[in-house]
């Protein structure tokens, strides 16, 4: 049953502080909810304004979607245009980073849209683990979740002191950098870390000092574009790594 306490709780989940304190996050949209239900993430509440969705949202967890009014959904939605369905999921505990795979490290990525798009793209190319600096946008931010189009449910995001965490990893650390070697000549090893930097400042000096290689995406002759969007750059390099390993990670 929808109560004032639940409405207040969902409104609070717009803020990272409360998501961390309560161990919960909000998911809106039919596709994203379905992806969450297919995963191991636990659903706590589900509300719909379209009762025809209730049957399709039944799942092994035994949570039944509750019909509510459009006015109530508008109060709770984290977006100006509410979806027909809203769910509250428990944040999964981060998993240990694998020893024999490529992982992606994010050095202070700030834009939620970039983060969500990166998660969706990395999921497409078979990357499942993302190591995030402590100042990277929260992967459970509502805009990140929405733009990931369900990939939030399959990605393992670990937040840590990035320089310390990278030094613990026994593998090549490759950074996306305008002054690096072209990805055409990038020799991909079977495991490694790809570091993507902040949208405005790139990779920080502290992280740059521990890179073992820098790579770049060549631009066309005569192009005066200063740089690529972080999500686009990450997608092109992720494809390069994945394709050269035969998409077998």
Indicate the pTM of the whole model.
Answer: 0.93
pLDDT of residue 119: 97
Q: Under a CB-based contact definition with an 8 Å cutoff, are residues 195 and 211 in contact?
A: yes
pLDDT of residue 244: 92
pLDDT of residue 83: 96
Residue 148 tokens, joined: 């990931």
pLDDT of residue 1: 84
Residue range 109-147, pLDDT digits in tens: 999 999 999 999 999 999 999 999 999 999 999 999 999
pLDDT of residue 198: 94
pLDDT of residue 54: 87
Domains observed in the chain: 4-90 (3.30.1330.30), 102-244 (3.40.1280.10)
pLDDT of residue 55: 84
pLDDT of residue 60: 56
- Residue 131, burial from CB neighbour count under 10 angstroms (0-12, 13-18, 19+): buried
User: Considering only CA atoms, which of 234, 4, 10 is closest in space to residue 125?
Assistant: 234
Residues of the chain with pLDDT under 50: 249
Tokens 């990670």 belong to 249
% of the chain at pLDDT higher than 90: 86
Give the separation between CA 81 and CA 70, rounded to whole angstroms: 11
Return the beta strands (E) in the chain as ranges.
24-28, 43-48, 66-67, 85-90, 102-107, 129-132, 156-159, 173-182, 192-197, 213-216
pLDDT of residue 209: 97
């Amino acid at each position: 049953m929808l109560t004032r306490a639940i409405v207040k709780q969902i409104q609070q989940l717009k803020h990272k502080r409360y998501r961390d304190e309560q161990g919960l996050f909000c998911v809106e949209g039919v596709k994203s909810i379905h992806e969450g239900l297919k995963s191991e993430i636990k659903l706590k509440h589900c509300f719909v304004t379209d009762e025809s969705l209730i049957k399709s949202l039944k799942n092994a967890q035994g949570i039944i979607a509750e019909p509510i009014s459009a006015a109530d959904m508008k109060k709770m939605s984290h977006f100006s245009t509410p979806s027909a369905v809203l769910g509250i999921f428990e944040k999964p505990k981060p998993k240990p980073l694998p020893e024999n795979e490529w992982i992606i490290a994010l050095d202070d990525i700030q834009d939620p849209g970039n983060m969500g798009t990166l998660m969706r793209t990395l999921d497409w190319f078979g990357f499942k683990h993302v190591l995030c600096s402590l100042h990277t946008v929260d992967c459970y931010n509502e805009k990140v979740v929405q733009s990931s189009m369900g990939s939030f449910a399959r990605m393992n995001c670990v937040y840590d002191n990035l320089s310390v965490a990278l030094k613990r990893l026994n593998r090549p650390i490759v950074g996306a950098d305008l002054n690096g070697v072209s990805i055409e000549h990038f020799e991909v090893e079977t495991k490694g870390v790809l570091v993507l930097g902040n949208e405005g400042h790139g990779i920080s000096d502290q992280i740059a000092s521990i890179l073992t290689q820098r790579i770049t995406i060549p631009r066309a002759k005569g192009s005066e574009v200063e740089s690529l969007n972080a999500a686009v750059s990450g997608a092109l390099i992720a494809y390069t790594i994945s394709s050269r390993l035969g998409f077998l990670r």
